[in-house]
């Protein structure tokens, strides 16, 4: 406890919460009250443990529970009683030596007031000390800080400008103190700063401003922070912190110029990508489409909103192949010069040369994948046509010799048939009428077949040189019947049922009957061959004619073996055949396709493998004025 010579030896007597609260109040304040607590009498055991703990912490050795337990040699100079019981006051006065003052409950307010005064006095002395220390540190900071700091009074006259400010402005302290900005800067150049300073003085708020200060003939871009100086709730001036932001301003200007250039570049790049005829789209790392340029819309026929969000592989004919390329691009960073087959909105294949490039984000993880696809369908078609033309060139060289070799025997046969006809005309009277009739019809058919063979050799030559066609009005029903008559023996041998579904209102149309007969004989013969490959099935060939606006269609359908899916796209290619080796040459359907092309028509195939095949021939009512050349034989 307090051992000062002037300390008052004090005995504390009481009970309950009042006693423990008083002990707690005196634990840190007794020294300032000049009280030396020499003992505590706890008249009850209500808070005995708390009282003894507080006394131990305060260094009070004597703690008893009854006045009679006080030692005889105790000589307090003051006793403080917290209890309001009169009997306890009388006992305390009786026990204590005569003349020892006792402060009872009626004087407790005086003691509490003394404690409060001591506390306030301590706080005041502490605040005064801290204020002096703060001012000292503030002055040191203002003078040594690497910032331009100044102090102005309420009339905006400089009271102080630190060394950094003076060096920055090129001034000295004597030329600054007591001056206003009008004396230091050209008129009107710092009006923006004075307006903010006046607002700081009026509002008492911390404010910020940016502007330009004319320093040493140059323009300095600055950011100023203004703090009001308030004492006794009255604004006495302000602090100003000035930060030179010229380099930052120049950097921002350059950055702005770079941003503008970048925006222009990005705009240009977007326009290039958007207007590119190549198919370009972006995907996320999972392969979902993020963007789709106009070139892609034109190539595939989908609108941007139709495909954004869809997996890119869903546009491919073989999704698994695209998925492998995509995984390769994620692993290696790119996958280039691969061919991929997409499907357009109409279900037609589009073959593209595809390149995939991964774009990483700032974290190094995949952000996007750029898919650049060039439609090479036409180029591949031209390449295949070129190969086909090269083959046809070889066929042409052979065909010219074959045609002469075949045409010479045909000429002999035709001559002999003519002699037979003349003999029948001269000597026919000696023959039986039935025999003469059979021979006459046979010679007519023989002449017809010689002409047909000659037409076939001319068609073969048509692959390698332009030939003129004989365009006449066609009776389609009669033409089809004649084709069936030509194949009559094969039809009867195969026991195939021919179902004719001819339209009754077909208009006459103009075309080449010899070429059309070659087309339909080829298609019916192929139907019979397909039926032959399914011997346990009763063969049926349906021939249907119809008209639609300016076109006539002929459909030939069989219930034969059908055509495998992989062969359907190549069925009209030269030398491609689905027939067994030694039975098919791969010429028939190719000839059919090219004949119809030259006549302005076309042919389509629909087939269900193992069940049926349907060939649909479409012919114009009026053919081209000049028959179209064979696309594979041009310039040969």
pLDDT in tens, 453-466: 776 666 555 544 44
CATH architecture of 467-636: 2-Layer Sandwich (3.30)
| Token code pair at residue 609 | 């493998």
Q: Which is it for strands 158-161 and 207-215: parallel, antiparallel or unpaired? A: unpaired
State whether CATH 3.30.450.20 applies to domain 145-244.
Answer: yes
Percent of the chain exceeding pLDDT 70 equals 81
d(CA 158, CA 150): 7
The CATH number fitting domain 276-375, selected from 3.40.50.850, 3.40.50.720, 3.40.50.2300, 3.30.450.20:
3.30.450.20
Q: In what order do the strands lie in the sheet with 234-244?
A: 158-161, 148-153, 234-244, 218-231, 207-215
Average pLDDT over residues 236-242: 89
pLDDT in tens, 145-189: 667 888 999 999 998 888 888 887 778 888 888 888 888 887 678
d(CA 97, CA 29): 27
* pLDDT level of residue 541 (50, 70, 90 thresholds): very high
Place of tokens 């009970």: 15
Q: What pLDDT, on the 0 to 100 scale, is given for residue 182? A: 84
pLDDT in tens, 608-625: 888 898 999 999 888 776
Q: What pLDDT, on the 0 to 100 scale, is given for residue 461? A: 55
pLDDT in tens, 559-582: 988 888 877 677 776 554 555 443
State whether CATH 1.10.150.120 applies to domain 8-120.
Answer: no
* pLDDT level of residue 403 (50, 70, 90 thresholds): low
d(CA 274, CA 282): 12
What 3-state DSSP class applies to 279? strand
d(CA 200, CA 178): 19
Q: What pLDDT, on the 0 to 100 scale, is given for residue 542? A: 93
- How is 77-122 classified by DSSP, letter by letter? SEEEE----HHHHHHHHHHSPTT--EE-GGGHHHHHHHHHHHHHHH
pLDDT: is 289 or 448 the higher one?
Answer: 289
Instruction: Tell me, yes or no, if the pTM score tops 0.75.
Output: no
Do 276-375 and 145-244 fall under one CATH topology?
A: yes
Q: What pLDDT, on the 0 to 100 scale, is given for residue 337? A: 67
Could you tell me which of 111, 112, 104 has the C-alpha nearest to residue 88? 104
Q: What pLDDT, on the 0 to 100 scale, is given for residue 633? A: 39
Residue 128 clears pLDDT 80, i.e. is over it: no
pLDDT in tens, 269-279: 777 777 778 88
pLDDT in tens, 55-91: 888 888 888 888 888 888 888 888 888 876 778 888 8
Average pLDDT over residues 495-502: 90
Q: Are 463 and 399 in contact (CB under 8 A)?
A: yes
Residue 123 clears pLDDT 90, i.e. is over it: no
End-to-end distance of the chain based on CA atoms, in angstroms?
A: 127
Residue 30 clears pLDDT 80, i.e. is over it: no
DSSP H stretches of helix in 582-622 = 588-598
Q: Are 391 and 630 in contact (CB under 8 A)?
A: no
* pLDDT level of residue 585 (50, 70, 90 thresholds): very low
Average pLDDT over residues 600-614: 88
Q: What pLDDT, on the 0 to 100 scale, is given for residue 463? A: 45
d(CA 110, CA 101): 14
What 3-state DSSP class applies to 517? helix
pLDDT: is 307 or 634 the higher one?
Answer: 307
d(CA 315, CA 321): 12
Q: Which residues share a beta bridge with 339?
A: 353
Number of helices and strands in the chain (H, E): 18, 22
Q: What pLDDT, on the 0 to 100 scale, is given for residue 632? A: 40
- Lowest mean pLDDT: which of 2-16, 68-82, 121-135, 180-194? 121-135
Percent of the chain exceeding pLDDT 90 equals 10
Backbone angles phi and psi of 300, in degrees to 5: -100, -15
Checking 621-624 for CB contacts under 8 A at 24+ apart, the result is 621/507, 621/509, 621/510, 621/550, 621/551, 621/552, 622/509, 622/510, 622/550, 623/471, 623/510, 623/511, 623/599, 624/599, 624/600
Q: What pLDDT, on the 0 to 100 scale, is given for residue 636? A: 30
* pLDDT level of residue 598 (50, 70, 90 thresholds): confident
Q: What pLDDT, on the 0 to 100 scale, is given for residue 157? A: 92
Could you tell me which of 226, 159, 565, 574 has the C-alpha nearest to residue 392? 574
Q: What pLDDT, on the 0 to 100 scale, is given for residue 567? A: 77
CATH class of domain segment(s) 376-465? mainly alpha
pLDDT: is 130 or 517 the higher one?
Answer: 517
Ordered by start, the domain boundaries in the chain are 8-120, 145-244, 276-375, 376-465, 467-636
**Mean pLDDT estimate for the chain:** 80
């Amino acid at each position: 406890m307090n051992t000062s010579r002037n300390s008052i030896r004090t005995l504390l007597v009481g009970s309950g919460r009042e006693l423990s609260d008083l002990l707690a109040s005196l634990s840190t304040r007794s020294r300032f009250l000049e009280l030396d607590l020499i003992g505590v009498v706890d008249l009850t055991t209500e808070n005995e443990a708390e009282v003894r703990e507080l006394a131990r912490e305060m260094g009070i050795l004597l703690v008893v529970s009854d006045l009679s337990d006080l030692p005889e040699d105790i000589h307090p100079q003051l006793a403080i009683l917290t209890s309001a019981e009169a009997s306890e006051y009388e006992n305390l006065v009786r026990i204590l030596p005569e003349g020892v003052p006792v402060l009872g409950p009626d004087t407790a307010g005086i003691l509490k007031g003394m404690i409060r005064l001591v506390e306030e006095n301590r706080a005041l002395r502490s605040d005064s000390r801290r204020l002096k220390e703060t001012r000292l540190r503030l002055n040191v900071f203002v003078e040594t800080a690497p910032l331009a700091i100044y102090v102005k009074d309420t009339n905006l006259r400089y009271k102080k400008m630190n060394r950094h400010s003076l060096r920055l402005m090129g001034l000295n302290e004597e030329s600054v103190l007591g001056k206003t900005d009008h004396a230091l800067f050209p008129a009107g150049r710092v009006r923006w700063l004075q307006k903010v300073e006046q607002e700081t003085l009026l509002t008492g708020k911390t404010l910020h401003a940016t502007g330009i200060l004319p320093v040493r003939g140059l323009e300095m871009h600055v950011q100023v922070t203004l703090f009001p100086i308030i004492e006794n709730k009255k604004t006495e001036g302000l602090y100003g912190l000035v930060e030179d932001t010229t380099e930052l301003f120049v950097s921002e200007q350059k950055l702005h110029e770079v941003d503008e250039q970048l925006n222009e570049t990005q705009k240009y790049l977007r326009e290039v990508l958007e207007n590119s005829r190549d198919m370009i789209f972006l995907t996320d790392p999972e392969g979902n489409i993020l963007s789709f340029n106009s070139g892609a819309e034109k190539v595939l026929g989908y609108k941007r909103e139709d495909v954004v969000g869809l997996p890119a592989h869903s546009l491919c004919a073989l999704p698994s192949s695209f998925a492998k390329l995509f995984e390769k691009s994620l692993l290696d960073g790119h996958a280039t010069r691969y061919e991929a087959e997409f499907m357009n909105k109409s279900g037609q294949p589009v073959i593209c040369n595809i390149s995939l490039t991964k774009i990483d984000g700032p974290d190094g993880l995949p952000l996007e994948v750029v898919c650049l696809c060039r439609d090479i369908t036409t180029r591949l078609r031209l390449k295949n046509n070129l190969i086909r033309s090269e083959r046809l060139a070889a066929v042409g060289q052979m065909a010219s010799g074959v045609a002469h070799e075949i045409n010479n025997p045909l000429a002999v046969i035709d001559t002999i048939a003519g002699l037979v006809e003349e003999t029948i005309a001269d000597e026919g009277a000696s023959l039986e009428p039935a025999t003469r009739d059979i021979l006459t019809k046979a010679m007519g058919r023989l002449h017809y077949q010689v002409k047909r063979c000659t037409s076939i050799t001319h068609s073969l030559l048509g692959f390698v040189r332009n030939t003129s066609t004989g365009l006449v009005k066609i009776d389609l029903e009669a033409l089809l019947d004649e084709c069936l008559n030509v194949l009559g023996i094969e039809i009867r041998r195969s026991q195939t049922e021919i179902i004719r579904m001819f339209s009754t209102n077909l208009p006459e149309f103009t075309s080449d009957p010899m070429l059309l007969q070659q087309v339909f004989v080829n298609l019916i013969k192929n139907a019979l061959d397909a039926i032959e490959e399914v011997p346990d099935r009763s063969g049926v060939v349906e021939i249907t004619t119809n008209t639609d606006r300016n076109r006539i269609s002929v459909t030939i359908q069989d219930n034969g073996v059908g055509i495998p899916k992989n062969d359907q796209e190549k069925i009209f290619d030269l030398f491609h055949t689905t027939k067994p080796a030694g039975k098919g040459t791969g010429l028939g359907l190719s000839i059919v396709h090219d004949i119809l092309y030259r006549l302005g028509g076309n042919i389509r195939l629909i087939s269900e493998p193992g069940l049926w095949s349907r060939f649909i021939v479409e012919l114009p009512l009026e053919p081209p004025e000049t028959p179209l050349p064979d696309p594979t034989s041009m310039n040969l």
